[in-house]
């Protein structure tokens, strides 16, 4: 007989940022990934569950997952160089490491892996 123990890990919350708190969030965290989205963006809505799931992945436990509404937060958008949506940017010690538009989970995983 085989017995399996299922371990359920609590999913980390993806935190929302605005122009008013992006600098503090970047300065206060060594490793950050930000998802830029817009409410009208269909691809943004499709990638959200993937991003939320990745936030709870133990491989990326030291990374803070954030999201910003790109239309409402022009300062944050400019800081990452957002050109299209959905757009992802990684920061290490407040410095931009990688940034590009994608809706592919493999690309997001690659960015997270490069940040570690």
Q: Rounded to an integer, what distance in angstroms lies between the CA atom of residue 18 and that of residue 35?
A: 12
The backbone torsions φ and ψ at residue 30, rounded to the nearest 5 degrees and listed phi first, read: -65, -45
Helix (H) or strand (E) holding 90: strand 87-92
Q: Rounded to an integer, what distance in angstroms lies between the CA atom of residue 77 and that of residue 69?
A: 9
Which one of 26, 41, 66, 82 is the catalytic residue? 41
Which one of 32, 44, 68, 111 is the catalytic residue? 44
Estimate to the nearest angstrom the gap between the alpha carbon of 9 and the chain centroid.
19
Active site residue 2: no
Active site residue 44: yes
Residues taking part in catalysis: 41, 44
């Amino acid at each position: 007989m085989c017995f399996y123990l299922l371990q359920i890990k609590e999913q980390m919350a993806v935190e929302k940022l605005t122009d008013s708190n992006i600098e503090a969030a970047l300065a206060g965290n060594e490793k950050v990934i930000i998802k830029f989205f817009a409410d009208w963006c269909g691809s943004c809505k499709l990638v959200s569950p993937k991003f939320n799931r990745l936030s709870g992945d133990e491989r990326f436990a030291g990374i803070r997952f954030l999201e910003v509404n790109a239309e409402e937060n022009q300062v944050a958008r400019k800081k990452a160089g957002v050109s299209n949506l959905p757009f992802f940017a990684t920061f290490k010690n407040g410095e931009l490491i990688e940034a590009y538009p994608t809706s592919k989970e493999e690309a997001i995983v690659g960015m997270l892996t490069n940040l570690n």
